[in-house]
Structure 1
């Protein structure tokens, strides 16, 4: 008699539709349904442009989804945390521990109970979490007393402390890292190396590729206009302000240059970035598009793509740019540095070094042949080492490694 399918509940506790969500969807499109029976549990019904929601995207894949609506932080919790920040300003470790205890009362414990009920009613074999451990306390502790196995997919450089490391080592069967750098960080913090597996993000190298010429026209960018571009949430971690600082230097050095900077994304830093661009007197050259679901069309329209983040996992958007033969400049951080081999498949700069970032802008702007060499090398690397088939097979191997209780 054939063994029944492994029942998996995929938990995503995030707040936005980002690269990790897209990688998850690419996995769910291709995962072996004869082996794995998957349902999803989300905290938020993400919506991207054109008003497509995550529930609609999963329904199109015939994957059931549950939502756990999140309560707003009560006034007492907000006031208590503000008081603790004032009273314990001298000891960060104790302050964070006390704030966590407050969050556990009003947010984490209720989520534990709800996820536990879903797992018990659905008799799931695996709780598969699409985030980093520090974002998934409730997921881990919801499995206590159940035969459910925990598998974590860590998609970004993790935030760790002794409590998180202990939780992972005690409750996690396997933790998937999207890059060697992420896995190295986990082990350095004390996570048991025997439960750590690296499965690189992948991309469909056979998909039809867009032509960016029409979008360039919408930017009023002709063939002689150099289009810099970035794609990502407008949040501090993505460090778009460093890009604007380097563009300020570029504009000063090349006042007659015809150029545009297209920032694709939305987020809380939007107004600050607009103000910064205005102060640098480059606002007429900077285009803020808001969130867009057709990221690859924008990448195809760029002459250079920049990712200036303070931390990453293994950024899917860099793989997409490389597939589209768009040269990439990236900060030398975990994940990004595993994709960009400096002066071979792209250009790296130390995080925050806006002077060197400007020099990279200058180099790509002045040397079209060099841009072509970088793009060709990067494209070959992606097509050889970062295919979607390798990514799916790697995740399936980890999920399939568990033994039913």
Structure 2
């Protein structure tokens, strides 16, 4: 897609949602860019209105846990239409000319193949191998954080940990780490529904560079010989290529997907976790007193202040959900942030409580066959990072106001001043 056509397509999308907003349409309100404003009152309004609410544009929305969870687990729904069109259609067209295999959301059989190739690198058994490596990275990062005086939770803690972890797990040589960290930060909000033309053009340039970089890494490793017991993703994918056909462009796409999804989401999770712990001093004190609560603190963060606010599904046939009839390919928006605050599932949902017994039932990682393949790693990073922070900086406090990213579909911080 040429630049002119791409710009027109993006402006048309932005105009459509702007017009919906002017008429008070539910989809227009959902796509209002946020810079820190809480989206949860809006989600509550949709949730309380009905199990399914329909926009004037024909898009369905649900903010109820039971409905969203059922749709996520219903194999009649996919992340694309029957014609293969996704909610990121313009973005997909923009990237198509770069000859990068699609990775932004696939339905079977492509999704099944992608998960099978990625699974060995993100399995619970792989996490056992990664644990010591993640611990080393976390403590190395904290060694560089001032023990006294102000620092930024996002840039000095939240960003460097997942950036280093993903580079290590992929098997990227050290000479690439700094550049990969920069690229991951720049393209982190790749799938935001209202990404602008200038940013999309920059993403295309970075994608081209990243594809070439991963091509170099894979070529170097292939020349060194295939490892029969790999401990990183490049080695695992090369081993898989000896047993089945795995083209280079597919390996590059999987590595790009890992870089994008495995970095920025965890950055936001760590930032949101520390922010909410410091906003609720009693909860921070509880974690300091018992650092073993770090994983539960991470789960409660994902429930209480989800980084991903919504996701899309499309029925592949006519279906009936909660007595509402949906036609094949009707877009359905699952308001994850609303479902995670549903009082029918989470008692007193507006309270941040790191001892909540069912916090891990949140839908931030989705459910069913589209459950996030990287969830075990994200949980491992959060558990280790928060535990180390509580143990090493028990007197941590905010030293300024949080600064949020401007986004429609994601919730995360750009800055969070703190001091120990």
Query: What interval of TM-score do these two structures reach, taking the shorter chain for normalisation?
Result: under 0.3
Report the TM-score when normalising by structure 2: 0.25
- Higher RCO, 1 or 2 (CA under 8 Å, sep at least 6)? 2
Q: Which has the higher helix share?
A: 2
Q: Which has the higher strand share?
A: 1
Report the TM-score when normalising by structure 1: 0.25
Larger CA Rg, structure 1 vs 2 = 1
